[in-house]
Amino acid sequence: MADFINTIKKLKVESEIKCCVVNIKIDDAAFILKEFNCTNRILYKSLEDQYANEFLRGKWELNGEPLIFGEDNNGKVYLLSGQHRLHALIRATIAYRCDKNAKTKYPNAKLELETVIIYGVDYRVADSTDRGKARSHSDV
């Protein structure tokens, strides 16, 4: 692994794009969606439901898939990728809080999103994000 990391470090270039790992809770998710989710694609409730179920079952893991934030020339920030995960976190947290049997129904619930944040991306590249093929049931 050390050889791999050293190889990657040699490939590093200077960029305005930065990253970090954060824990996002319901209030953080709501703030991000309110303030920065102004130009995203439509919300697919079926995907939000699927992700919320993953949070409730405790199956959501830090996997390197980032929330991506872009910025325009005036410094305005836009959420480019991650709205479904944020909406799902909110939905899962509300469902958990409203269910008096949640602790027994969802003993492994994860009500925080530990995730990579990528920021400093040019907001105009939004159409090039999330273009990969989704994993099918048989792929998983």
Q: What is the pLDDT of residue 139?
A: 38
Q: What is the mean pLDDT of each run of 10 residues along the chain (140 residues)?
A: 82 84 97 92 92 96 93 92 96 97 97 95 65 45
Q: What is the pLDDT of residue 127?
A: 56
Residues 69 and 33 sit within 8 Å (Cβ to Cβ): no
Q: Is the dihedral of CA 34, 15, 18, 63 positive or negative?
A: positive
pTM of the full structure: 0.84
